């Protein structure tokens, strides 16, 4: 009996060893410490800094035959050393040394000094000086006191503080009643690995026919849907099969949702509502150049020959050496990367062509929040109502731009300097680019009719300056452009590209769906539904037109009827100007048949003929939310209830969704602030504009979307005495190089 028991014992040991070896070789369960370093896109300044995006699968080292865009990036973009950077302007971002100093100061003081390793930095950025200090500063003068703004978590509590870098003083600030700070990249990374430590999750994935080594997961913010979700940071994780494609988004393990405690990494619950739904095919989903075109000598080009705009004399814009001030063709502005907003444009001034005076246009402009609700109320989808700036960090998700493809030749690149969760600094290279754009557009023109007898043909080319960043927020890519024109106009454009978030279905053709069943979207391919969703991008625009004290004017256009016998005409359009006295007067919902213009004027400055100087917001294509205002996502995203809001300037009111967006209830939003109905006439005011998209997916969006764009303009209205580019020169043949194709010149 004893020998038999001993043999059985040896057999069990041997079986366990074999099982362990089998598990390690086939399943490839991740080792968090090692894999985290592989996943994170870090440099020498921090061992843990940032991820590619929300996707947290193991990445392999690219081979020498990897995509052309990657090689272009490495060969065309210079690597800049930021170790000796110093601030040159009051609004310059914190340097590597300043971030390290702020971290050291905070960790050395109570309560944080009791356990420094327990401090998690969610935000560590410049606390900007007050506007009056910035306005009064001139180049060569000492900088205002440099302070850091910190949002941190320590032993389960959230803190908002400022750190005086000179004195070392900490100032504690109030925090919102609900919600949590923006997730760190480490939060996202660790959350996507955590379900693989749960046996029930692994069994469920294997039962769906997916190898654990092929699993790719996304951390999905849960929103807020009641008290049961309060008191701890929760996150939902959904997964995909990456077998056979880089585009795993097209292969969802539909209906499988893990609810996770983000702090403890405990799996709270697993919902499996997708049994019977197959994993969509991988064929035809890859979008990479080598997968689409193949590695032949003459890949298809759609009949297009290469095109490039050359500047043999170099670009016309200047960027201050080692700094952030940009000057070009009568414009001057400060430009910097930001971990939450993406890119911030500040101190925008235009040179008056008549007087040469630099005149204020805007103190600060940036993306304040993005709201992306999906229109599927089912168990695995109802919570997908992202706020990409406040939950994920719009700038944290910005990837290095690709030279010659994201930005043309002669572009200038700016890096972002951010803090990791441990407070150590790192550099996000090539996050912003600046370049001049000429697309054959016309700045102004006039040709005189032959009947006048005057042979006049005058035209001027339109050259503009672009400041661009792009964020890859998991599947979606956002392109943000600030375009400065020589006529004083600023065009702000948002482009959407990337990959749809899709839903698995058991059906492969439209005729297989039950009649009258709501599928919440469009069938795009076999077993794949593109779910309907919206995008709202809310901009914070602190316009200071010729000074800080401005007014908001709604110029209403309406039909006016003529009196009988007064004119052969029976009607005409009349413009009526209404100055908004309080915030509620300036809450605007766009109406096609009740058109208006929206002016920000300086009533104390007028042109020579008496018009108040100003700028106007000119909306282009946009969309409005159709959700119930009491729907929990819309309550949190109530800043999209109007397309325009105007509030008095308040340095604490920057983020339309609130300081703490993650799991917030919506008590600290632009809509709540504006309910106070504060006075805004002849005040320092901020205009908020929301640009929107309704997206009903179509097959042309599969497997990757062509870019779709929308924009709005900030246009001068009586700001100048006349056309500011009247004296702009035309192009002459002698001034332009003649480029000859290499094949033709051989």
Distance (Å) of CA 246 to CA 28, 191, 214, 236, 500:
18, 21, 11, 23, 14
Range of the domain at 108: 96-172
- Domain end (from 172, 204, 236): 172
Average pLDDT, the chain: 89
124 part of a folded domain: yes
Per-residue pLDDT band at 5 (split at 50, 70, 90): very low
Whether the pLDDT of residue 230 is over 70: the answer is yes
Query: Looking at the predicted structure, is the pLDDT value of residue 12 above 70?
Result: no
- Of 27-31, 125-129, 313-317, 349-353, minimum mean pLDDT range: 27-31
**What does the pLDDT average to over 394-410?**
95
Structurally, the chain folds into a number of domains equal to 2
d(CA 120, CA 686): 32
CA nearest 183: which of 122, 134, 259?
122
Q: Give domain status of residue 34, yes or no.
A: no
Domain presence at residue 281: no
- Give pLDDT, residue 299: 57
Q: Which residues are catalytic?
A: 388, 476
For the chain, how long is the longest CA-to-CA vector?
A: 121
Residue 426 belongs to a domain: yes
> 289 in a domain, yes or no?
no
* pLDDT grade for 302, boundaries at 50, 70 and 90: confident
Cβ distance 161 to 12 under 8 Å?
A: no
Q: Smallest Cα–Cα separation from 638: which of 624, 623, 651, 652?
A: 624
Q: Mean pLDDT throughout 175-188?
A: 96
Cα angle: 613, vertex 619, 620; to 5 degrees? 140
Is pLDDT of 3 > 80? no
464-473 and 425-437 as β-strands: parallel, antiparallel, unpaired?
A: antiparallel
> How many whole angstroms separate alpha carbon 395 and alpha carbon 390?
10
Of the CA atoms within 13 Å of residue 39, those in its CB half-sphere come to 24
Residue 562 lies in a domain: yes
Q: What is the CATH number of the domain that holds 149?
A: 3.10.450.40
Query: Residue 484: its pLDDT value, please?
Result: 98
Give the domain CATH number at 474. Answer: 2.70.98.20
Residue 16, CA distances (Å) to 10, 97, 293, 477, 593 in order: 10, 52, 47, 46, 74
pLDDT band at 70 (very low <50, low <70, confident <90, very high): very low
pLDDT at residue 148 greater than cutoff 80: yes
pLDDT > 90 fraction of the chain, expressed in percent and rounded:
81
Min mean pLDDT across 77-91, 251-265, 488-502, 632-646 is at 77-91
Residue 244 has pLDDT above 70, yes or no: yes
**pLDDT class for 48, splitting at 50, 70, 90?**
very low
Q: CB-based contacts of 481: which residues, under 8 Å, 6+ apart?
A: 466, 467, 468, 491, 492, 493, 494, 495
| Per-residue confidence band for 301, with pLDDT thresholds at 50, 70 and 90 | low
Closest by CA position to 176, among listed 387, 367, 390: 390
Residue 615 located in a structural domain: yes
Q: What is the pLDDT of residue 488?
A: 98
583 φψ region: left (φ > 0), alpha (ψ -120 to 50), beta (else): alpha
Out of 117, 144, 172, pick the residue that ends a domain.
172
Q: How far apart are CA 98 and CA 348, in angstroms?
A: 26
pLDDT score of 1 more than 70: no
Mean pLDDT of all residues in 107-130: 98
Residue range 605-621: average pLDDT?
97
22 against 350, higher pLDDT: 350
Q: Average of pLDDT values for 367-377?
A: 98
Give a yes or no: residue 60 inside a domain.
Answer: no
Rounded distance between C-alpha atoms, residue 140 and residue 118, angstroms: 41
Average pLDDT (82-102) is: 96
> Where does a domain end: 128, 154, 172?
172
Worst-scoring range by mean pLDDT, 46-50, 393-397, 565-569? 46-50
Q: What is the pLDDT of residue 677?
A: 98
Confidence of residue 738 (pLDDT cuts 50, 70, 90): confident
Note if the bond before 39 is cis, omega within 30 degrees: no
Model pLDDT for residues 629-686, shown as the tens digit of each residue: 999 999 999 999 999 999 999 999 999 999 999 999 999 999 999 999 999 999 999 9
pLDDT confidence of residue 361: 98
Mean pLDDT for 61-84 is 50
The least confident of 49-63, 613-627, 632-646 is: 49-63
Is the pLDDT reported for residue 49 higher than 90? no
């Amino acid at each position: 009996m004893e020998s038999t028991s001993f043999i059985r014992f040896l057999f069990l040991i041997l079986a366990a060893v074999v099982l362990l070896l089998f598990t390690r070789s086939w399943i490839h369960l991740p080792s968090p410490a090692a894999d985290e370093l592989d996943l994170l896109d870090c440099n020498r300044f921090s061992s843990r800094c940032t991820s590619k995006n929300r996707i947290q699968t193991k990445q392999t080292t690219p081979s020498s035959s990897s995509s052309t865009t990657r090689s272009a990036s490495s060969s065309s973009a210079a690597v800049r050393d930021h170790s000796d950077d110093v601030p040159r302007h009051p609004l310059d971002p914190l340097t590597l040394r300043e971030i390290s100093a702020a971290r050291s100061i905070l960790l050395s003081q109570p309560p944080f000094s009791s356990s420094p390793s327990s401090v998690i930095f969610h935000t560590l950025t410049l606390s900007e000086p007050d506007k009056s200090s910035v306005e009064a500063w001139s180049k060569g003068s000492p900088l205002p006191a440099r302070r850091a703004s910190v949002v941190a978590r320590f032993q389960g509590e959230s803190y908002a503080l400022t750190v005086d870098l000179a004195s070392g003083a900490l100032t504690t600030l109030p925090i919102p009643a609900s919600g949590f700070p923006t997730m760190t990249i480490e939060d996202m990374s660790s959350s996507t690995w955590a379900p693989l430590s749960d046996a029930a999750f692994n069994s469920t994935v294997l039962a769906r026919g997916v190898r654990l080594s092929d699993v790719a997961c996304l951390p999905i913010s849960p929103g807020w849907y009641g008290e049961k979700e309060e008191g701890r940071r929760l996150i939902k994780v959904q997964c995909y099969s990456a077998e056979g494609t880089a585009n795993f988004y097209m292969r969802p393990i539909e209906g499988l949702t893990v609810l996770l405690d983000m702090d403890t990494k405990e799996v709270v619950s697993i919902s499996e509502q997708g049994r019977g739904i197959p994993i969509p095919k991988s064929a035809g989903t890859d979008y990479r150049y080598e997968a689409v075109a193949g590695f032949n000598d003459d890949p298809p080009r759609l009949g297009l020959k290469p095109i490039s705009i050359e500047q043999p004399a170099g670009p016309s814009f200047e960027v201050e050496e080692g700094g952030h001030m940009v000057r070009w063709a009568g414009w001057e502005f400060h430009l910097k990367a930001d971990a939450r907003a993406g890119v911030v444009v500040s101190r925008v001034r235009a040179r008056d062509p008549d007087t040469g005076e630099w005149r204020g246009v805007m103190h600060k402009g940036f993306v304040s929040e993005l709201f992306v609700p999906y229109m599927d109320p089912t168990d695995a989808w109802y919570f997908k109502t992202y706020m990409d700036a406040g939950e994920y960090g719009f700038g944290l998700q910005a990837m290095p731009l690709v030279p010659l493809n994201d930005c043309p030749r002669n572009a200038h690149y700016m890096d972002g300097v951010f803090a990791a969760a441990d407070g150590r600094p790192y550099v996000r290279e090539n996050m912003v680019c600046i370049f001049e754009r000429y697309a054959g557009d016309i700045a102004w023109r006039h040709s005189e009719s032959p009947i006048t007898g005057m042979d006049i043909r005058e035209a001027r080319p339109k050259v503009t300056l672009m400041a661009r960043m792009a964020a890859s927020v998991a599947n979606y890519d956002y392109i943000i452009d600030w375009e400065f024109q020589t006529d004083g106009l600023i065009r702000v454009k948002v482009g959407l590209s990337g990959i749809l978030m899709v839903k698995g279905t058991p059906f492969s053709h439209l005729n297989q769906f039950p009649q009258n069943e709501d599928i919440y979207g469009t069938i795009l391919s076999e077993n794949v539904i593109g779910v309907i969703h919206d995008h709202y991008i809310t901009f914070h625009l602190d316009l200071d037109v010729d000074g800080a004290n401005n007014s908001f004017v709604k110029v209403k256009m309406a039909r006016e009827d003529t009196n009988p016998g007064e004119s052969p005409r029976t009607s005409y359009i009349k413009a009526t100007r209404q100055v908004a006295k309080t915030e509620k007067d300036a809450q605007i919902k766009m109406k096609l048949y009740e058109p208006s213009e929206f002016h920000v004027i300086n009533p104390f400055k007028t042109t020579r003929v008496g018009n108040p100087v100003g700028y106007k917001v000119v909306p282009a294509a946009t969309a409005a939310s159709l959700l119930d205002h009491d729907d929990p996502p819309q309550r949190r995203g109530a800043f999209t209830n109007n397309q325009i809001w105007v509030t008095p300037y308040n340095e604490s009111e920057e983020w339309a969704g609130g300081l703490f967006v993650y799991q917030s209830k919506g008590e600290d939003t632009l809509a709540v602030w504006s309910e106070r109905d504060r006075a805004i006439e002849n005040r320092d005011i901020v205009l908020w504009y929301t640009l929107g998209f309704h997206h009903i997916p179509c097959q042309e969006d599969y497997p990757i979307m062509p870019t779709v764009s929308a924009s709005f303009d900030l246009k001068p209205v009586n700001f100048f005495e006349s056309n500011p580019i009247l004296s702009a020169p035309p192009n002459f043949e002698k001034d332009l190089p003649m480029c000859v194709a290499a094949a033709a010149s051989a």
